[in-house]
Amino acid sequence: MEKVIITITLIATTFVLSAQNEIDALRYSQQDVFGNARFAAMSGAFGALGGEFSSLSYNPAGIGMYQFNEFTFTPSFSLHNSKSYFNSSNIESDKMGLNISNLGLVYSMPKNNSEWKRVNIALGWNQLASYESNIRIEGENNSSSLGDKILELANGNKINDLNEFHTSLAFWADLIDLYDNSVDTTTNWYTNDNGNYLSHISANSNKLQRKSIHSTGSENEFVFSIGGSYNEKLYVGATVGLPTINYHEKSTYTEGSFEDTINGLQEFNYKEELSVYGSGINLKVGAILRISEQLRLGVAVHTPTSYSIEETYSANLTTHFSSERFTESSPYNYFEYDLITPWKAIASASTIFNKNIIISADYEIIDYTFSEMNSYDYAFETENDAIKNTYTKTANIRLGAEVNVKPFVLRSGYTKYGSALANKDFSRENFSFGLGLNNGGYFFDVAYVLSQAMDDHKLYSEDYIDPVALVNTNHNLIFTLGFRY
């Protein structure tokens, strides 16, 4: 059964990793409500309000509202819950995390005897997205196997032409084999290396399939903002954003408990590890117009973010037979590429009732088909076509309310993120609540954000198996301590 060990160097083949595709373009284009606690408690509906550091990543005109210097610091605690529904099984998994959601400094410079009442600058960073999650999938299947997809990819390729990240691993670990694996004793090589393979798994027999996906990381944005107030009627501002991506994923796919196998295969494990680091730049400009003491209108435009991304990827496959075990590992692949994320446009309004009740709303438009991937080493034609065919233009809605009940301030909010997919309703919802205490010189805010979303996960190929349904629920508890001077 054991393959003949050879001492020749395998021919390196160009292979675009499954990590660099439309799924990654979407992951790094989507954001959630983080930042400081007041901002999160009102679900980020600050496009026409301003006066909060986290709003500088949305409508930078809000910096013109500041009349004092300010420093804010925001730690947060998160709990991610994921439920998977695979055939008749459903599995639940949790992941906890501790993060810094905001750190900011605002410096206000009043202008005497000028129509421009002040010019303010700000420096700091906001958390934009969290990638913390644990997903577990488990269920029985008698219609297909990952081995089917591997066999499809292997057939038609000679041994030296097999992909070093999956089909070559499967061959040398004995998950697949040549139809005729006899060896020429003179050349110490297979006599029938013609690209015709067979699998050691009977796809139609019952089997247990399991997968665990452990991911960590976040997207954060360093911001430098400048803006001002014109006669306390018009507020304008601009933010240069320097977002960073840090994403790490480990996944293990397992098949076992076979009813029918060839040559005594009992189980196999396919493991993948992906690390992603990226940095980018964007520009945000905005304005807020005070129509009256009770009504404000806001507008903001975000340029696409231009990312430079570095990835490392590796895989290994282990097969367990009745009396022996084989493990094959891929090389570590390093790849660089550029990603352009979509434009954003935001229209906002806010109103004040009885001087102590604030209602605000943001309407955000984003076209996910605008995303594009590029590299000197690869054209990304298939991936960019998938972005245009899979995604769509959508709208996000953020609503917020604040009631001043001295000495406390009560807050709540709601967010609806439209589905980025053209043919599936994978919209997301946030519900938020908060409490604040403001002493003038310092303030303390706390917020709770509940996020719920549907998703799916492709185990190996939709040609063989339907995607696994996922329900993701995030709980975030956010605290902000701020000082004004």
pLDDT in tens, 445-468: 999 999 999 888 989 888 899 999
What structural domains and CATH numbers belong to the chain? 22-143+207-484 (2.40.160.60)
225: burial class by Cβ within 10 Å (0-12, 13-18, 19+)?
buried
Q: What is the pLDDT of residue 5?
A: 37
Q: What is the pLDDT of residue 202?
A: 87
Contacts of 439 (CB under 8 A, 6+ apart): none
Please state the pTM of the whole predicted model. 0.89
Q: What is the pLDDT of residue 423?
A: 84
DSSP secondary-structure letter at 391? B
DSSP helix/strand/coil, 417: strand
Q: What pLDDT, in 10s, does the model give residues 350-401?
A: 999 988 999 999 999 999 999 999 999 888 999 999 999 999 999 999 999 9
Please state, in angstroms and rounded to a whole number, the distance separating the CA atoms of residues 375 and 66: 42
Q: Name the phi and psi angles at 386, rounded to 5.
A: -65, -35
Q: What is the pLDDT of residue 336?
A: 94
Q: Which residue ranges in the chain fall short of pLDDT 50?
A: 1-17
Q: What is the pLDDT of residue 19?
A: 55
Please state, in angstroms and rounded to a whole number, the distance separating the CA atoms of residues 457 and 135: 10
